[in-house]
Structure 1
Amino acid sequence: MSDKDTHETATDGGATRAAQRHQNTDYLSEEVNLLKPSTAYMRDHLRIVWVGFVVWALIVFGPVTLTAIAPGTMTTTMPVLGFPWHYFLVGFCAPTGALVLAAIYARQRDKLDEKYGIEHTTGDPETGEAGDSGEAAATDGGVEQ
Structure 2
Amino acid sequence: MFTIDTMSSEVINSLPDILKDVIEKFGSDKASNLVSKLGGRTYWVAEGRTPKARERRKQLAEMIGEDVEGFINKRYQGKEIYIPRMKRIETLARHRRINVKAEELLGEGKPIRAVVTQLANEFAMSERSLWNILKQHGSVSEGA
State the TM-score bracket (shorter-chain normalisation). Answer: under 0.3
Query: Which of these two proteins has the greater Rg computed from alpha carbons?
Result: 1
**When you count helix as a share of all residues, which structure comes out higher?**
2
